[in-house]
Structure 1
Amino acid sequence: MPGQGSVGERVRNLRLSKHLSQAQLAGTELSDSYISLIESGKRTPTPAVVRLLASRLGCLPEYLSEGIEPEERLHLQVRVRHAELALLAGDADQALRLFGDILAAVDNDPDLAKRARWGQARALEARGDGEEAIRALEELREEAGRDRGRAGWLPVIVVLARCYRAAGDLGRTIALGESALERLAELGLLGGEEAAEVGRTLISTYLDRGDTAQARTLAERLLAASELDPTVMITAYRRASRRALEEGAGGESLYLADQALALHAGDTLTTAQARLRVASARSLLPGDATPDAATKALELLHAAEQSLSGVDVAECLIETARSKMMLGEPGAAVTIAQRVLTELASHPGGSVTVIRARLMLAQALVATGEHEEALTALRATSDELDALPPSRATARVWRELGDLFGAAGDTEAMMDAYRKALESAGLRSSPQHSNIVANLGSH
């Protein structure tokens, strides 16, 4: 277990265990009064003094400074990596438990603790605990703002923007996402993984806000940047890391250097770029999309699909079905949407994507004239939506559900969905305001 207490307490305990006086420990290089100040916590020894005291107390400097023996620190570092591997494998519950165990054991190692807290925040996001993830990430963001020399601001902002979008806070999402993109542009990293990730979040948020033109402009800008050769991006990350170090942003510099090393080991940009392509395809598919736009979207989606897995594949296929609808192929859209639902049946954590897939299926079934089958899909979607917390994002889905109920011929269900859309948006319908609900169906 880690050594308890402060540096001074560990010095005092070891000195007493070896029956040394303060003067004997001080020797000729230090004074006994200085040793007394260290032991009382009124002075923090420099690294050179820590090494000197460790040699006289028969321990390693790491134990005095951190309270953790090197072998134990190595074990904790391995445990952090195992937790990160669990997160990458999609086991958020196990990752959260492992990160929690690590945090309980690293009170005296701020660097390992920060890495574990960063992993814990991402595990909370992956598990769908959005509010807790935001709280943890905001703490990390605040610390990064106070201490740029040790903490990385950029990766925290990228994930935090994604969490705020999931929570339905579009304004906060855009503010954070645009600040991250501005920093990435300064560093020459618009073709990197971070830009692709925050870019897809911003594109989706612009679309949520109804700003299709801005979404398309950003998509075109980032897609062009993402075509850079990996060797060019390695050089860009190295250059950005040096710049961050010169600016005193040591935590960011270290993160960017690690990204450059990761690129040497493989194609880590592939998944991020594939997700960017899916978001970019979505920006090409509003309700009035042209066949040319739908064809271009299909090209992006086909290029992305092979590099994705799990829920990401499902999201890609939903947009593929939408493209087919725009091209006048509703039968193909039905087949694709049914495939998505079959594959998601055994995939945890895909409830929102399941809802989107059912809506896509219902839309395609209405287009093929299969209204009863469409109503079956819509009623299942209504049940699933009832389980989601109210938010602006939920309100938009209720609104779409109402439109589809109307197209399938169930007016009563349509009105109920519109009412729930109002309630999810924070409004309460009343008899005298029933015309508001009715008017929703006319737009």
Structure 2
Amino acid sequence: MLEQPRFGQRLKELRRMRGLSQAALVGDGISTGYLSRLESGARPPTERVVTYLAKRLDVDLSAFDMPPSGTTLAQALSIAASAECEEAMDALLDCLDRTDRTDCTDPLLRWQALWMVARRWNKRGDKTRELVCLEELSRIADELGLPELRCRAWVSLARCLRSTGEVNRAINVASCAVRIAKESRLSVSDTGAALMVLVSAEAEEGRLPDARAHVDELIELIGDRNGTLKAEALWSAATVRFRQGDQQAAGEYLERAIDGLDSYSDLTLWIRLRLAAASLSLQSAPPRTGTAAERLKEAESALAFACTPLLAQELLTLKAHLAFEDQRFTDARALLDELHQDELLLTYRDRIRLGVLDARLLITEGRLRNGLQQLKELGEEAHRACNVDLSAEIWRILAEALEHTHGPLDSAGS
């Protein structure tokens, strides 16, 4: 009845059901290393340890006799929703992995569980796992036929696709979400979110007239409302205006977004708006490095309270761009090296622009041929991804670099 590995599996399940880490469960009685070996099945349990763990878990000894995997999806979902801890989310993931969607008696429960898991991967910047969740979310929502769930799943899917560089598919998915929202007369929040992701995808692919028309529709839809949706809509308008070449209007929209949102409403968005303002300043002609530095300082001061790995990488990326524009090339290279110590969680666009920065640094460091070749490859990649304005930006930088070398790429020195 207390044989391994079943005992270890059941022990791990009970611990996760209560939202406890290994350190929280062991207390002063045993070590976390010993508990880990128990859970993995590497060590047999003793009577003393079983009694101690039962007391710590507040269960009868008979609880260990129950077979593992007894937690239902509804139980795991309820625990994860109320505990808000990594252990509870891990338990929910285990339950989803054990439960095939065809065996789930209530697809609504599976949809809600997948929604929570997708948000977890989004926070961590794990786009691969997030995309898998969102693909299944969209299928379940279509089967259920609930317009609210269909719209929200497709909006999230389109947003994930855009960030990974699948812009054309993102446009198609976002267009469907907008159609569902309008046909079903969904809320301003749902309709606005659908329009917003459509605008961002259209702008990414260079469909600026379409993006301009949809972002104007979005601003009109929101009207006098305030809050996060208004701030995000103004941010979208700023992005479109900037890519249309109207830097002044873009700056005005972004400043309105920043001024209209306090940090208590949504601290993460508050930070992201300042990162966006810094990025816009650095991409302006000429770059406004002073303004960018101020916005980055504001964002960095708040990261201690709402830091995620993705936000930290976005901040480091912009600091590297700022250092390059200030001609602090050694600092820029150091920041770039720091970023590459971990897996990059940045969006497709930010990763490409980081590669461009690396290429420009190579050129300043005397590795001309490597830098020029890298720019050429990045321009071709952006072109293949139908990212028109990003591709044009890279070709412009490459042309300027070639002009400074007074010769074609093939004759550039190493």
**TM-score band, normalised by the shorter chain?**
0.5 to 0.7
- Match of residue 371 from structure 1: 327
| Structure 2 CA distance for partners of 1:393 and 1:381, relative to 1, 3 Å | same
Cα-to-partner distance string for 1:332-352 (whole Å, 9 max, x where unaligned): 32122234345447755343x
Highest RCO, 1 vs 2 (Cα 8 Å, sep ≥ 6): 2
- Match of residue 275 from structure 2: 318
Residues 118, 130 of structure 2: 8 Å contact kept: yes
C-alpha separation in 2, matches of 1:184 and 1:150: 7
1:128 aligns with 2:84: no
Deviation at 1:273, TM superposition (A): 3.3
| Structure 2 CA distance for partners of 1:287 and 1:110, relative to 1, 3 Å | closer
- Match of residue 279 from structure 1: 236
Letter in 2 for 1:330: T
Cα-to-partner distance string for 1:22-66 (whole Å, 9 max, x where unaligned): xxxxxxxxxxxxxxxxxxxxxxxxxxxxxxxxxxxxxxxxxxxxx
Aligned with 1:116 (options 101, 113, 116) = 113
Residues 399, 421 of structure 1: 8 Å contact kept: yes
| Structure 2 CA distance for partners of 1:78 and 1:93, relative to 1, 3 Å | closer
Deviation at 1:401, TM superposition (A): 1.5
- Match of residue 210 from structure 1: 206
Deviation at 1:316, TM superposition (A): 0.2
- Match of residue 49 from structure 2: none
1:169 aligns with 2:166: yes
- Match of residue 36 from structure 1: none
- Match of residue 199 from structure 1: 195
Letter in 2 for 1:418: L
C-alpha separation in 2, matches of 1:209 and 1:394: 15
Cα-to-partner distance string for 1:130-166 (whole Å, 9 max, x where unaligned): 2333223323322333342799322211211122123
Q: Where do 1:200-279 residues align within 5 Å? A: 200-227=196-223, 270-279=227-236
- Match of residue 336 from structure 2: 381
Cα-to-partner distance string for 1:208-237 (whole Å, 9 max, x where unaligned): 2233343332222111101266xxxxxxxx
SS in 1 for 2:243: coil
Deviation at 1:169, TM superposition (A): 1.0
TM-score normalised by length of structure 1: 0.57
C-alpha separation in 2, matches of 1:318 and 1:282: 13
C-alpha separation in 2, matches of 1:343 and 1:162: 25
Letter in 1 for 2:331: T
C-alpha separation in 1, matches of 2:86 and 2:373: 36
| Structure 2 CA distance for partners of 1:318 and 1:414, relative to 1, 3 Å | farther
C-alpha separation in 2, matches of 1:188 and 1:149: 13
| Structure 2 CA distance for partners of 1:400 and 1:343, relative to 1, 3 Å | farther
What is the number of equivalent residue pairs in this alignment? 314
CA RMSD in angstroms comes to 4.3
Aligned with 1:340 (options 299, 302, 307) = 299
| Structure 2 CA distance for partners of 1:356 and 1:334, relative to 1, 3 Å | same
Letter in 1 for 2:235: V
Letter in 1 for 2:122: E
Deviation at 1:193, TM superposition (A): 1.8
| Structure 2 CA distance for partners of 1:379 and 1:292, relative to 1, 3 Å | same
Residues 281, 288 of structure 2: 8 Å contact kept: yes
Bigger Rg over Cα: 1
Deviation at 1:128, TM superposition (A): 3.1
- Match of residue 185 from structure 2: 188
Letter in 1 for 2:214: L
C-alpha separation in 2, matches of 1:176 and 1:362: 34
C-alpha separation in 2, matches of 1:78 and 1:95: 12
SS in 2 for 1:442: helix
| Structure 2 CA distance for partners of 1:402 and 1:335, relative to 1, 3 Å | same
| Structure 2 CA distance for partners of 1:211 and 1:150, relative to 1, 3 Å | closer
Letter in 1 for 2:91: R
Question: Unpaired runs of 5+ in structure 2?
Answer: 1-69, 385-393, 401-414
Q: Where do 1:60-99 residues align within 5 Å? A: 80-84=77-81, 94-98=88-92
Residues 155, 194 of structure 1: 8 Å contact kept: yes
| Structure 2 CA distance for partners of 1:93 and 1:270, relative to 1, 3 Å | farther
Cα-to-partner distance string for 1:252-301 (whole Å, 9 max, x where unaligned): xxxxxxxxxxxxxxxxx833333233232222333843434422332233
Letter in 2 for 1:200: M
Cα-to-partner distance string for 1:304-362 (whole Å, 9 max, x where unaligned): 354653442222002223455659753232122234345447755343x4454445445
Question: Unpaired runs of 5+ in structure 1?
Answer: 1-71, 230-268, 428-436
Deviation at 1:125, TM superposition (A): 3.2
Residues 394, 424 of structure 1: 8 Å contact kept: no
Residues 401, 414 of structure 1: 8 Å contact kept: no
- Match of residue 21 from structure 2: none
Residues 199, 222 of structure 1: 8 Å contact kept: yes
Cα-to-partner distance string for 1:172-217 (whole Å, 9 max, x where unaligned): 111111110112122334x622233333323322232233343332
Cα-to-partner distance string for 1:383-436 (whole Å, 9 max, x where unaligned): 525733899536532454157648x94453844752673697699xxxxxxxxx
1:393 aligns with 2:352: no
Letter in 1 for 2:294: T
Q: Where do 1:421-432 residues align within 5 Å? A: 421=378
Deviation at 1:121, TM superposition (A): 3.3
